[in-house]
A and B are shown apart, each in its own frame.
Chain A
Amino acid sequence: KQEVTQIPAALSVPEGENLVLNCSFTDSAIYNLQWFRQDPGKGLTSLLLIQSSQREQTSGRLNASLDKSSGRSTLYIAASQPGDSATYLCAVAPALDGGFKTIFGAGTRLFVKA
């Protein structure tokens, strides 16, 4: 059974700091891994999607890596800003079950202090 774990559960950093969020998953048979952002009481916004054949994806100040063999992904945020404060969720699409039963981690709650 696929399980997704995110560490740390919460993080508070000063503005301008570079930071890394971690995600681990127990079964390497995945179609893709995705990072989402969720603002309080809101829906999810997709940040980056990494296909199983890819190693990383970049968008602006965000870089996500994927190591399927070790069951790990990291989300790197450069030069953090107060507007980055949100919960960041990691989600995998397991290859079993057709890949659409997306499984989410519990998230990392990030607070960037001005």
Chain B
Amino acid sequence: ETGVTQSPTHLIKTRGQQVTLRCSSQSGHNTVSWYQQALGQGPQFIFQYYREEENGRGNFPPRFSGLQFPNYSSELNVNALELDDSALYLCASSSEGFWLANQETQYFGPGTRLLVL
């Protein structure tokens, strides 16, 4: 177990709706990254938060947004859901050393599987 939890485990939404996914990082980890993994593909980097600020973003539109809280929890929000948003959403937490020194790994949660109908 990595100590990273995500909720809910599964979710079904309809096109146009909004969704909030939650992640609880390991204690002491002030960096969280979110990834989208479509079926049969590797995870795609969405964005990263460091000390409650967005620290970098992948090639995802603004309707993907996030929040990070001081208690090591974070959220991924997706507005105006599209069918192609159906995927496994993974969060990964890491300590400051991850991106300052690239010495450490990220610890992944089990993911939230989102289905958009």
Contact = CB atoms under 8 A, between A and B. Distances in A.
Given A101-B58, A102-B33, A105-B42, A44 B108 contact: yes
Contacts of A100: 31, 33, 48, 55-56, 98-99, 102
Interface residues on B, range: 20 to 34
Contacts of A93: 102
Interface string A84-114: 0000010101000111111111110000000
Contact of B106 (A4, A46, A51): A46
A45 interface: yes
Nearest to A95: B102
B79 interface: no
Given A104-B43, A104-B44, A99 B99 contact: yes
A101 B45 contact: yes
Contacts of B103: 51
Contacts of B108: 36, 43-45
Interface residues on A, range: 20 to 34
A57 B47 CA distance: 28
B102 to A, nearest CB: 4
A89 B56 contact: no
18 contacts: A41-B113, A43-B4, A43-B110, A44-B90, A44-B92, A89-B42, A91-B42, A99-B99, A99-B102, A100-B31, A100-B48, A100-B98, A102-B43, A102-B45, A104-B42, A104-B44, A105-B42, A107-B42
Interface of B: 2, 4, 31, 33, 35, 40-45, 48, 55-56, 58, 88, 90, 92, 98-99, 102-111, 113
